[in-house]
Amino acid sequence: MKALGIILIVLVLCAVGGLGYLYMNARVTVEFVECIATDAVDQAAYFDQLKERVENESFIGTRFSRTPLTTPEDFQFYTYTVRMNNRSFLPAEMVEIQVTPMGSDLLQIGDTIACNAEAGKATELSATILTTKDMHNVREGTVTYYLWGLPFSTKITLGKR
């Protein structure tokens, strides 16, 4: 009986040590990759479709401003790409990026597909905003994700390396 107690104590200590090792080595990092600027004139058909959806209130995404969309010559799209390195043993679920708007940002186009980051792998995700032509591309972004149902978030500077 005494030997069984010692074996069980050793097993519990090994399990606690293993969990501590997993906890201390689990990291999720987010890094900026690139920003692509596109004039709305170059994507006039998409801009018109977006404008129609905003006017019909069927737009999927985040509206930062109630400023009406006029002509595509006044606007540009910024597409930010970030890489999320999931160096943990748990998958990161419902990963999304939200751009913090500046004064002349109008909207962030939403994504209808859920993004997950597999355990031990890197995943790239992107966010596209519509802004006026006179704005620079540096923004702050927040990447949110869930590990075992617990929410986590990381702030990152977008548009600047």
Please check whether residue 7 lies inside any domain of the structure.
no
**Intra-chain end-to-end CA distance of the chain, in Å:** 62
Q: What is the pLDDT of residues 106-152, one digit of tens each?
A: 999 988 777 889 988 999 999 999 999 888 899 999 999 998 888 99
Q: What is the mean pLDDT of residues 99-112?
A: 89
Please check whether residue 3 lies inside any domain of the structure.
no
Please check whether residue 128 lies inside any domain of the structure.
yes
Closest CA to 156 of 27, 144, 148: 144
Q: What is the pLDDT of residues 56-98, one digit of tens each?
A: 988 899 999 888 888 899 899 999 999 999 988 889 999 999 9
Q: What pTM value is reported for the model?
A: 0.83
Domain span at 109: 27-158
Closest CA to 47 of 98, 97, 107: 107
Q: How confident is the model at residue 25 (pLDDT cuts 50, 70, 90)?
A: confident
Please check whether residue 5 lies inside any domain of the structure.
no
Please check whether residue 137 lies inside any domain of the structure.
yes
Please tell me the distance from the alpha carbon of residue 64 to that of residue 108, in angstroms, as a whole number: 8
Q: Domain with 60 in it: what CATH number?
A: 2.60.40
**pLDDT above 90: residue 1:** no
Please check whether residue 1 lies inside any domain of the structure.
no
